Structure 1
Amino acid sequence: MADEQNPDAQAALEAAPTDAAQAPPQMQVLGQFIRDMSFENVAVQKGITMEGQPDINVQVGLDAKKRSTDGQFEVAVKLNITAKAKGGEATIFAMELDYAGLFAIQNVPDQQLHPYLLIECPRMLFPFLRRIVSDVSRDGGFPPLNLENIDFVALYRNEITRRAQAEAAQVTPS
C-alpha cells in the first residue's frame, strides 16, 4: 500500500499553480531616505511659553511612482505636523517630513497594485517615520512626539472617495 499513490494528492499536485501570476505577492525594501525635512521651533523664535500639552495636528499625504527599472516603485509619505498652544492660535513648532522608500514588488496584479503601493508600502515605512519624528521633536527642544498608528487603509479609501467626488463635480454642469 505504501507504493500506491493517492489519486487525490496527485490531482492536487497537477492542479497546483505553476505560473507567476498566482504566486504570492513579494515586496522587498531596497532603500529608504529622507527626501526633504524641516523643523521650526517657533516658540523660541517668538518667545512663546508653553503650558500643558499642545494641540498636535498631523496631516498625511501619500505618493507612489514607478521607477524606470521593472518592478521598482518609489513610495513617499509626507507628514505636516503643527503643534499649537492649548486654547491659543500660537504655533509652538512645525515639522514637515517627506520620507520615501524604494520597493521591488512582484506578483501583484495590476488592478491591486495602486492600493498595495499606497497601503502596504507606507506600513513598512511607518516605524522609521515615527522614530524620525520622535528624535527630531526631542532634538528641537520638546518632549518626543510619538505618532499614533496611521490607518493607511482609511487614508486610501478617503482619497478614492475624494477623487470620485471631484470627478463627479467636474462632470456635473453648474
Structure 2
Amino acid sequence: MGKRRLALCAGVLAVTAFGPAACAAYAADGGDVSVVPAAPAPGGDIALRVTGCDAREAVAQSPALVSDARLTPDDGDGLAGDGRVRSTVTAGTYTVTVACDGTEHRGTVEVVRKHTPAAGAEPSTYPSPLAPVNAGAGGAARDLAGGPERHGPGTAQTVVALALAGTAALTVHRAARRQARRGRRTG
C-alpha cells in the first residue's frame, strides 16, 4: 500500500475513533493546525494536519514533540504527517507551529498524564504474552510450547528417509554390478 493511501487510511481510522475530540480540539484552538488525538499521553503518536497551506512540504514544530514532523500533501486541501510526543514531557498545553510559504500556522496539543494506579493498588491484569514469541528458529517456540512432546522423526520423515536410503542402496548395488562386469571382461 502506498504511503499516501496508508496515511489516508490512518487518518480515516483516527477521525472515526477520535472524531468528536478532534473536532472539539480544532474548534477550541482556533487555528488551522489539527492534532489527532487532541490529548495524547507522553510517548504517544499523533497525526498532524494543516489547512490553508499551498506548499508541497512543511515542518511542524513543538516543544512537546520528539522531533520536527515533516508534513506532505494529503488527499484533501492540506498537508499531513505524523509525530511522537516526548516521553519525558509534562502534562500541559503546547503550541504546534507550522511555517508554510512565509505564513505561520498554529495549533495546540494538550498532553495528559498517563493513568497510573493508586499507591498500593494492584493492577487487575498483569502484562504478559498471550502466546510464545516468534523468537527465531522459524517459530519453533510456538510448536514446542503448545503441543505434546515429540521424540524422533514423524511418519512423513521416516518414509522419505527410507525412500532415500533405498535409492542410495540401489545406486550402490548397480555401480558394484557394473564394476564386477568390467572386471570379468578384462580378466
| TM score, norm. by length of structure 1 | 0.25
Higher RCO structure (Cα 8 Å, ≥6 apart): 1
| TM score, norm. by length of structure 2 | 0.24
